């Protein structure tokens, strides 16, 4: 079970995207469309009711051949095949699922409305699965008998703890084993710059020589920066240090209600301030930048602003699992996003000042309930097991607030497709134009990424004015695409070694080759080639102007709001 949860954690971690614009009105609107269409044609409803009734009769007489998808983990227990009562219960559920799917396909809706109806109905049907209850879950029933009732007592205790300590949300992780600076975020270094908005962490070199051009990582504004340094085995920070890269990471402060006015311009200005500090500390006239997810959108805005200002401090740019050219059908929940919903989301956020991190996590979880809710209901409550102690999940649960102003800017970028326009959208005191950005570019996508789908990340290759663009596709999901170090026997990635990247992801895929192993060594070689000459490693972090303050990972990662 723990291995399955580890995989789910990697695939379904919280991330900022257009999802933050979802409102209850959009969801209720989708339900209203379903009800309207149901009432519009009683004969159609009767026809589908008769088909479902036929399935029910076959189930009652033992003649039904309905069977779950072999990959559906909910029905793996042998009891679903060999116990006639359990098999019948499963088939009733599958009949409802089949009937709903058939009915939706028959509705006279446009494609967007049909997608909305399908998405909402799947959430409802997932909640009706018999496996979500003790009476309908043979594995939980066996555990109850084998444990002499202790599993039920433990499950009730877990549920009570979630009600009283986790705001009623089922826990996805056992946080107890993890201590920042002890077994998580253990790379040595110090904060060398602290402002109201961010800390800049300078990590101590681990090699005798370092490359002269340093690298600054811009993390997402949701969750904490230590995703880059989870454990020594999967630390991007440690890997960079061990390969001679002078490594700096921004740590964003968790904004309070009063700081809800922080917008994209403020975050870009902080990134620029961090780059100046990195340059001053290392003596380099260039600073390479790496960023992921919403941090990648921030880095792209920074690059556009610097190009507009004719500021040449930016060196090579790495963007990981980041979408700059979104389309409504990229993600499953995209069909629910409406212009009215986005405006309502803005208004509510402005009134509150910030969107609470746990509210974002809760909303995100209910958009993928099988993976992020019912899995844990079964594990924690029905089986009476503790949630998994997994570092990625620990980090994922350590969510931060999102300032209302920044959320509004992210939604504007989504609505206007700002990064795809050349000088048409004004933001951060300039007209956004990525075609003016000439930096060498490395872009990463993940094959099974549901949050920033890889074909959406590929569109970024066509937006920049860079002559040197590399695209790599990791055979993993969202965070696991990044946290994919050497040594994983299952790791592989894809490259298209053509002289020029094709215009579309499908064309790129047609010419791509599979490469065994982690993409990290390939990326590191790419970075090193763009990091100048080697020199003696500094004996201390910071310098006389940027003195070492608190040890890494700093104070902002432990600050509570």
Active-site residue set: 293
Cis peptide before 553 (omega within 30 of 0): yes
Token pair of 266, please?
A: 């403020």
* DSSP for 385-416, written as a single string: PPPP--HHHHHHHS---EEHHHHHHHHHHHHH
Phi-psi region at 314: left, alpha or beta (left = phi > 0; alpha = psi -120 to 50): beta
Token pair of 107, please?
A: 């509705």
Contact 458, 512 (CB under 8 A): no
Q: In what order do the strands lie in the sheet with 492-495?
A: 189-194, 198-203, 247-252, 215-218, 287-292, 314-320, 441-446, 469-474, 492-495, 513-516
Other CB atoms closer than 10 Å to residue 43's CB: what's the count?
7
Phi-psi region at 364: left, alpha or beta (left = phi > 0; alpha = psi -120 to 50): alpha
Q: Which residues contact 330 (CB under 8 A, 6 or more apart)?
A: 323, 453, 455, 456
Give the separation between CA 6 and CA 431, rounded to whole angstroms.
Answer: 43
Strands, E assignment, 138-208: 189-194, 198-203
Q: Beta strand 469-474 with 247-252: parallel, antiparallel or unpaired? A: unpaired
| Size (the chain), residues | 561
């Amino acid at each position: 079970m723990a291995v399955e949860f580890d995989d789910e954690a990697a695939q379904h971690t919280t991330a900022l995207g257009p999802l933050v614009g979802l409102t209850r009105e959009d969801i209720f609107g989708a339900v209203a469309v379903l009800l309207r269409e149901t009432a519009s044609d009683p004969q159609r409803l009767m026809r589908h009711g008769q088909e479902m009734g036929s399935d029910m009769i076959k189930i009652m007489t033992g003649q039904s051949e309905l069977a779950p998808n072999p990959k559906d983990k909910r029905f793996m227990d042998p009891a679903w095949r060999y116990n006639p009562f359990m098999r019948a219960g499963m088939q009733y559920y599958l009949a409802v699922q089949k009937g709903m799917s058939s009915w939706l396909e028959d509705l006279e809706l446009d494609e967007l409305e049909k997608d909305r109806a399908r998405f909402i109905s799947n959430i409802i049907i997932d909640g009706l699965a018999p496996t979500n209850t003790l009476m309908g879950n043979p594995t939980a029933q066996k555990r109850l008998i084998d444990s002499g009732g202790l599993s039920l007592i433990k499950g009730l205790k877990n549920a009570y703890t979630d009600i009283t300590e986790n705001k009623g949300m089922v826990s996805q992780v056992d946080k107890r084993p993890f201590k920042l600076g002890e077994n998580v975020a253990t790379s040595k270094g110090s904060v060398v710059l602290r402002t109201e908005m961010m800390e800049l962490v300078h990590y101590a070199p681990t090699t005798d020589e370092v490359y002269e051009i340093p690298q600054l990582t811009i993390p997402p504004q949701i969750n904490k920066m230590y995703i880059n340094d989870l454990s020594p085995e999967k630390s991007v920070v440690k890997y960079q240090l061990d390969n001679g890269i002078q490594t700096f990471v921004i740590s964003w402060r968790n904004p309070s209600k009063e700081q809800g006015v922080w917008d994209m311009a403020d975050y870009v200005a902080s990134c620029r301030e961090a780059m100046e500090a990195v340059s001053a500390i290392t003596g380099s006239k260039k600073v390479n930048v790496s960023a992921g997810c919403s941090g990648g959108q921030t880095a792209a805005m920074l690059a556009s602003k610097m190009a507009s200002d004719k500021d040449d401090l930016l060196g090579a740019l790495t963007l990981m699992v980041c979408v700059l050219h979104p389309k409504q059908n990229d993600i499953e929940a995209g069909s629910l996003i409406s212009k009215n919903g986005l405006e309502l989301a803005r208004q509510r956020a402005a009134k509150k000042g910030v969107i609470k991190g746990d509210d974002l996590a809760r909303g995100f979880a209910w958009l993928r309930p099988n993976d992020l809710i019912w899995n844990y209901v079964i594990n924690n409550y029905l089986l009476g097991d503790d949630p998994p102690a997994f570092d990625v999940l620990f980090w994922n649960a350590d969510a931060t607030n999102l300032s209302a102003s920044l959320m509004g800017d992210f939604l504007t970028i989504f609505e206007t497709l700002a990064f795809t326009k050349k000088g048409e959208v004004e933001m951060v005191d300039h007209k956004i134009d990525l075609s003016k950005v000439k930096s060498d570019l490395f872009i990463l996508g993940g094959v099974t990424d549901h949050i920033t789908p890889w074909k959406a990340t590929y569109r970024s290759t066509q937006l920049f004015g860079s002559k040197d663009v590399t695209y790599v596709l990791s055979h993993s999901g969202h965070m696991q695409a990044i946290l994919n170090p050497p040594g994983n026997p299952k790791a592989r990635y894809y490259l298209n070694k053509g002289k020029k990247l094709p215009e579309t992801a499908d064309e790129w895929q047609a010419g791509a080759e599979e490469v065994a192993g982690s993409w990290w060594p390939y990326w590191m070689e790419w970075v090193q080639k763009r990091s100048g000459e080697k020199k003696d490693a500094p004996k201390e972090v910071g310098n006389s102007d940027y003195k070492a303050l608190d040890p890494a990972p700093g104070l902002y990662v432990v600050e509570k709001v």
